[in-house]
């Protein structure tokens, strides 16, 4: 392995391992018709069979390539819509309910465990575990960056992080890239979009920074994405996507409500001006002259020349002056009430409920109207929200695994790329409690089936019960019996410990000081 590695640079090794034609040594299957070998056979039927097999395999592989290229070209047409949605997401951030929902997504998905770590690393190799612990906790500072990455992923559906790589040290740093300026190019996308033949060596996954005209290989970028809508592939789907239309409706409704309140809420007065038998042409001028008398004269500051409007108590557009000819008209001044239905906001509440349904977060946790759940987090109370958090965590772990694999690959641990497991703390214990309840019922049923009802005949055999209650296979039942035999032998040996080991020497110093001898 070392001799082969010396023939290639780190760039070439990474391209071979993560490039378009490698996929970690899991390339697309190919089948070639070797005529020299087939001409040696004396069976024409065998020759025709091999020839037909080669033709069919080539046909299937060619169809796969065509479908793969055409499938991801839809991202080219989706690009303008994607940019428009990003602008909506930026504006939606200023709505308190939506901003609080994003904070909840990020906080619930990155809950720290009892040791204060957000990311749990498991490995049978202590060296691999120590390397990954140093990578995520010290180099990438995952406790600080992961909540931000998770929140951006939930907000945009995508999050692009550039990995700074070193040939000897592996991943030595990371940098957040602007999501709106990064484009993901799948196999065959560039050729379709530019109407040119794409070079063979470039037909693979890569990322492009459009504003800087820079391209990155697949192993240089960690692309966190929430896969939820096939129409948006190869990009992710934002948690806010389903709320975009409702959010716009809510803004329009709230603006209409505010306009109505400001224009209709103030009280107005109606002044009845007696005009008697005055000519109709003179009524308007007379009413205006009477209205002007209700206003105090404007004061002009002699020093500055400014007009002081503080003494203008009312304006013409605030009150109504109605000419009347009946001298016995009652109530010469009538107060008109303002809007009396200001508390009726059922339409606003209806749209808000639809918005909260799209966000999948209860209203009480967004508005902080009252203390709910005795201070417990949301995922601890709602199993449905816990499933949403688990989906977000799986999306984040997928790219964190990629970062770990690239780091181990650069350090030369090519044989240990699968010898680790990453996990995020599940903030909900509801799922665990449900599993425990299910196992309790299974164990009780198992005991009832294998216990003697009193006639010396069990309802079922232990083997049948283990296979049908626990879902074990014959091999698992056999292994369980072997383990029980070994454990029983170990138990008997433990019982014989006092006769085998008469003195351990653990208390020699105490016996020497305080013993009777």
- Detail the DSSP E strand segments found in 303-456: 307-308, 320-324, 333-336, 421-424
Which three-class secondary structure string do you get for 260-279?
Answer: HHHHHCCCEEEEEEECCCCC
Residue 330 above 80 pLDDT?
no
pLDDT range class, residue 198, cuts 50, 70, 90 = very low
What is the pLDDT, as a whole number, of residue 299?
Answer: 62
Residue 196 above 50 pLDDT?
no
List residues bridging with 336 in a β-sheet.
268
Higher pLDDT, 42 or 40: 42
Distance CA(78)–CA(234), nearest Å, equals 10
Mean pLDDT of the chain: 77
Residue 231 above 90 pLDDT?
no
Mean pLDDT of 256-282: 76
Distance CA(244)–CA(404), nearest Å, equals 35
Write down the residue that tokens 């070193």 correspond to. Answer: 166
């Amino acid at each position: 392995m070392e001799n082969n590695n010396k023939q290639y640079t780190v760039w070439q090794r990474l391209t071979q391992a993560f490039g378009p034609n490698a996929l970690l040594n899991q390339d697309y299957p190919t089948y070639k018709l070797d005529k020299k070998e087939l001409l040696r056979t004396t069976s024409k039927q065998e020759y025709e069979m091999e020839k037909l097999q080669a033709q069919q395999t080539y046909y299937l592989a060619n169809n796969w390539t065509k479908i793969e290229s055409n499938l991801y070209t839809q991202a080219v047409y989706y690009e303008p819509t994607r940019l428009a949605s990003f602008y909506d997401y930026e504006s939606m951030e200023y709505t308190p309910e939506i901003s609080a929902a994003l904070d909840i997504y990020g906080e619930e998905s990155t809950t720290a465990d009892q040791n204060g770590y957000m990311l749990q690393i498991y490995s049978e190799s202590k060296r691999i575990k120590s390397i990954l612990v140093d990578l995520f906790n010290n180099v990438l500072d995952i406790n600080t960056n992961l909540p931000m990455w998770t929140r951006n992923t939930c907000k945009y559906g995508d999050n692009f992080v550039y990995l700074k790589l070193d040939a000897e040290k592996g991943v030595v740093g990371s940098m957040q890239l602007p999501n709106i300026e990064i484009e993901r190019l799948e196999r065959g996308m560039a050729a379709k979009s530019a109407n040119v033949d794409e070079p063979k060596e470039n037909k693979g996954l890569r990322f492009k920074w459009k504003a800087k005209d820079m391209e990155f290989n697949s192993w240089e970028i960690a692309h966190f994405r929430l896969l939820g809508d096939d129409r948006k592939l190869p990009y992710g789907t934002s948690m806010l996507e389903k709320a975009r239309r409702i959010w716009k409706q809510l803004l329009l409704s709230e603006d209409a409500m505010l306009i109505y309140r400001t224009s209709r809420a103030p009280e107005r007065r109606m002044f009845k001006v007696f005009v008697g038998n005055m000519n109709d042409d003179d009524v308007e001028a007379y009413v205006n002259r009477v209205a002007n008398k209700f206003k105090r004269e404007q004061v002009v500051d002699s020093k500055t020349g400014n007009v002081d409007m503080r003494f203008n108590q009312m304006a013409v557009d605030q009150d109504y002056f109605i000419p009347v000819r009946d001298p016995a008209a009652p109530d010469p001044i009538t107060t008109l009430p303002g809007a009396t239905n200001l508390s009726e906001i059922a339409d606003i509440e209806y749209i808000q409920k639809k918005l909260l349904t799209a966000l999948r977060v209860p209203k009480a946790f967004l508005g902080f109207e009252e203390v709910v759940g005795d201070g417990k987090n949301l995922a601890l109370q709602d199993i449905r929200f816990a499933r949403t958090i688990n989906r977000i965590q799986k999306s984040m772990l997928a790219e964190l695994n990629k970062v770990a694999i690239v780091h181990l690959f650069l350090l030369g641990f090519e044989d240990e790329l699968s010898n680790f497991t990453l996990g995020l703390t599940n903030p909900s214990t509801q799922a665990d409690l449900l599993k425990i309840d299910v196992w309790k019922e299974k164990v009780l049923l198992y005991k009832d089936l294998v216990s003697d009802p009193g006639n010396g005949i069990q309802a079922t055999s232990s083997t049948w019960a283990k296979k049908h209650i626990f879902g074990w296979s014959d091999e698992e039942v056999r292994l369980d019996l072997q383990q029980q035999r070994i454990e029983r032998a170990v138990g008997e040996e433990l019982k014989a410990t006092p006769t085998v080991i008469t003195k351990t020497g653990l208390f020699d110093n105490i016996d020497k000081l305080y013993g009777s001898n």
